Structure 1
Amino acid sequence: MVTTGQFLSPTRQAEIQPFETAPRSIVGFACDYPSGLSSGFHSHPRAQLLYAIAGVMRVEAQGSSYVIPPTTALFLPADAQHSVSMEGPVAMRELFLREDAATQISGDPKVIAVSGLLREVIIAACAEPVEWEPHGRGYHLAELALDEIAKATPLPLSLPLPRDARLRRVVFALLDHPHDQKSLEEWGEVANASSRTLARVFRAETGLSFRQWRQQARLTKALSALTMGTHPAKAASIAGFDSVPAFGAAFRAFFGITPGQARLLYPGAGRKTRGAKR
C-alpha cells in the first residue's frame, strides 16, 4: 500500500498487507472504523470492492467524490489513489481482487447496487482465511462474488471534483450540507473569489455550471438516502425541493428511475412501498 497526505497508521498498513499479496483470486478484509476517521490518500496494488455492512463512507478517487451507503459498493481498480472518510461508525467488509479476477469486472471506478446475495457472499468471504483452500468454500465464494459484481446494477453516485482550492472549499461544504441555499455570490465570500471567477473555473474543472453541480450533489445525496430506506418526502427535503412531485420529476430525469424505485434497493423496503404511488 502506498500512502500520501494524511497519516495511515503502521498498524493498519500491516493488517492490510497480507490481503494485498495473497495468492488467491479474491480475499475478504473486515475492519470496523470510528466516526470521522479519514484514511488520507493511498493506493493498493490490487483492485478492491469497498463495502460496509453498516455506516456510510465518502470516497474521493480519480477526481470524483462517491457516497457509499450499505446498499452499494465501490469498485476501484488497482493502484487507484483514493481517500476514505467515515460518516459515522463504519463496519467495512471489502474484497481485494487479484489482477486476473479484476479484469472480469471493469477498468474504471464504479458504484454498484449490492444485492442481498452479494452482501452475504462478501460477509462469508471475509470469514475465510487469506489462503483459503483452492477447491473449497473460499473458491466457490470467490467465483460467486465475481459473477454478482459483474452483473450488479451500476449507480450514478459520483460527482466530479474541482482541483482549484477555492472551489474545493465550496464543494466540500455543499457535500456536507447539500440543502444550503447560498447563492454563488455568497459562496464567493467563503472562497475569497468573485462569483464570475467561481462560475468560470467551476465549468472549466467539472464540466458543469455551479447550479448543475449543486443539483447533482443534492440528487446524489437523496439517492443515497433513498437506498437506505428514507421516505421520498424526506429525500425531497434533503435535495432542497419543497414539492415532492417536482423532486420526483428531477430525480427521474437525472437517474432514469423514480424515487420509489430507488427506495426498493433498500432490503425490505419492497414490503413497505408495495402498492404505494411512485
Structure 2
Amino acid sequence: MNLQNQHINESGLLELPQALVAWARDYADGEEIELHHHSKIQLLYASSGVMRLLTNDQAWIVPQNTAVLIPAYLDHAILMHGNVEMRSLYLNDTAPRTISNGIEVVAVSPLMCELILALCNEPTVIQPESRGDLLSKLLFDELSRMEELSLSIPMPQEFRLQKICSLILEDPSNQDTLELWSEKIGASSRTISRLFEKDIGISFGRWRQLVRFHHAMEGLAKGEAVKVVAAKCGYGSASAFSYAFHKEMGVSPTSLFSDQ
C-alpha cells in the first residue's frame, strides 16, 4: 500500500472529488467483512485468493482473474478464502460502464490487472497529468471493455427452499435427493422441483452444481488437491469432477490456479 493510503481511511476515500480512487488491503484466510455499503461504485479485485460476496438474495464467487462491480449503496458482505490481497477502486458517476442495480462479476484482462496494481501504488490523491491520472484514464477505457461472467448463486425467497439451500451451502457434498428433502420440509418432490424453477429460475440439480463449483474454487484457492476438493463437493472421482468443472467453467480445475 502506498504511503498516502496509510493516512487516509477507507471512508475518507469516498469524499475525494476525483473520478477514481484506489485502495489496497490484505486479509487472512477466513476473515469476513460484515454487511455494509459504499456511496460510490466499487470495483473489487483480488490479486491472490478467492472472495465470496454475499447480498440478501444472492452469492458470488470471485476467483483470480475476475473482479466484481458493486453498485453504490448496495449492502454486501465478503468472506475470504485463502490469503486475499484485495485491491479496490471507487468510481464516481462518470464511470464509462452502466452499472445495474445488481452486482456483476467481470473478467480481468492482464492489462487491467496491471493497471489496478499500478494505480494502488500511486498517491491516493491524483494530480492532473500525473502518472496516476494517466493510469486512471486508461483504466476507465478498459473498464468499458470488461466481459460479465456468470458466477452467481441465486438464492430463493420461498421459506422452504431457503432451508434446503442454506443446508447445502453449509455442506456442498450433500447427496440428498428431492424425495429425501421432501420428507424433511413437508413438501412433495414435485413441489420442490417446481418451486426451484419458479423462484430461482433453474433446477435443483443445476443450483446444487453451482454451489459445488463455488465451493471447489474456494478449496483450490487454498491449495487443496483436486481429489480432495472433488470429494468435498460430492463427486466419486477426481476425473468426474474435473470433467464437470471444465464443462461448466470452461477451464480445468488444475489450470484455474496454476499461477499460484
TM norm. shorter chain > 0.5 = yes
Q: CA deviation at 1:96?
A: 0.6
Q: Which residue of 2 aligns with 1:157?
A: 151
Counterpart selection for 2:186 from 163, 186, 194: 194
Counterpart selection for 1:174 from 162, 168, 172: 168
Q: Which residue of 2 aligns with 1:40?
A: 34
- Give aligned pairs, total: 250
Superposed, 1:229-248 pairs within 5 Å as 240-242=234-236
Counterpart selection for 1:129 from 114, 123, 129: 123
**Could you tell me which amino acid in structure 1 is paired with residue 177 of structure 2?**
S
Aligned-residue identity in percent:
34
Contact 1:184/1:195, CA 8 A, preserved across alignment? no
Superposed, 1:180-259 pairs within 5 Å as 180-187=174-181, 193-196=185-188, 198-222=192-216, 240-242=234-236, 250-251=244-245, 254-255=248-249, 257=250, 259=251
Contact 2:68/2:103, CA 8 A, preserved across alignment? yes
Question: Structure 1 residues 241, 265: CA separation in 2 closer, same or farther (over 3 Å shift)?
Answer: closer
Secondary structure, counterpart of 1:100 in structure 2 = coil
**Could you tell me which amino acid in structure 2 is paired with residue 177 of structure 1?**
D
**How far apart, in 1, do the equivalents of 2:222 and 2:64 lie?**
7
Q: CA deviation at 1:211?
A: 1.7
Question: Structure 1 residues 268, 172: CA separation in 2 closer, same or farther (over 3 Å shift)?
Answer: same
Q: CA deviation at 1:74?
A: 0.7
- Give the TM-score, by structure 1 length: 0.72
Contact 2:82/2:222, CA 8 A, preserved across alignment? no
**Could you tell me which amino acid in structure 1 is paired with residue 155 of structure 2?**
L
Contact 1:32/1:90, CA 8 A, preserved across alignment? yes
Contact 2:50/2:218, CA 8 A, preserved across alignment? no
CA RMSD in angstroms comes to: 3.3
Question: Structure 1 residues 131, 177: CA separation in 2 closer, same or farther (over 3 Å shift)?
Answer: same
Contact 2:81/2:222, CA 8 A, preserved across alignment? no
Q: Which runs of 5 or more residues in structure 2 are unaligned?
A: 1-7
**How far apart, in 2, do the equivalents of 1:188 and 1:96 lie?**
45
Contact 2:14/2:39, CA 8 A, preserved across alignment? yes
Q: What is the CA deviation profile of residues 75-113 of structure 1, one whole-angstrom value per residue up to 9, with x for unaligned ones?
A: 112222211122344321111111102x42543421122
Q: CA deviation at 1:142?
A: 1.2
**How far apart, in 2, do the equivalents of 1:114 and 1:231 lie?**
25
Q: Which residue of 1 aligns with 2:81?
A: 87
**Could you tell me which amino acid in structure 2 is paired with residue 116 of structure 1?**
P
Q: CA deviation at 1:167?
A: 3.3
**How far apart, in 2, do the equivalents of 1:105 and 1:226 lie?**
32
Question: Structure 1 residues 224, 39: CA separation in 2 closer, same or farther (over 3 Å shift)?
Answer: closer
Question: Structure 1 residues 155, 265: CA separation in 2 closer, same or farther (over 3 Å shift)?
Answer: farther
Contact 2:64/2:257, CA 8 A, preserved across alignment? no
1:24 matched to 2:21? The reply is no
Q: CA deviation at 1:179?
A: 2.7
**How far apart, in 2, do the equivalents of 1:149 and 1:239 lie?**
34
- Give the TM-score, by structure 2 length: 0.77
Q: CA deviation at 1:205?
A: 2.2
Contact 2:156/2:199, CA 8 A, preserved across alignment? yes
Q: Which runs of 5 or more residues in structure 1 are unaligned?
A: 1-13, 270-278
Q: CA deviation at 1:236?
A: 5.7
Q: CA deviation at 1:138?
A: 1.1
**Could you tell me which amino acid in structure 1 is paired with residue 63 of structure 2?**
P
Q: CA deviation at 1:161?
A: 0.7
Q: Which residue of 2 aligns with 1:144?
A: 138
Contact 2:81/2:218, CA 8 A, preserved across alignment? no
Contact 1:74/1:112, CA 8 A, preserved across alignment? yes
Q: Which of 1 and 2 has higher RCO (CA within 8 Å, sep 6+)?
A: 2
**Could you tell me which amino acid in structure 1 is paired with residue 154 of structure 2?**
P
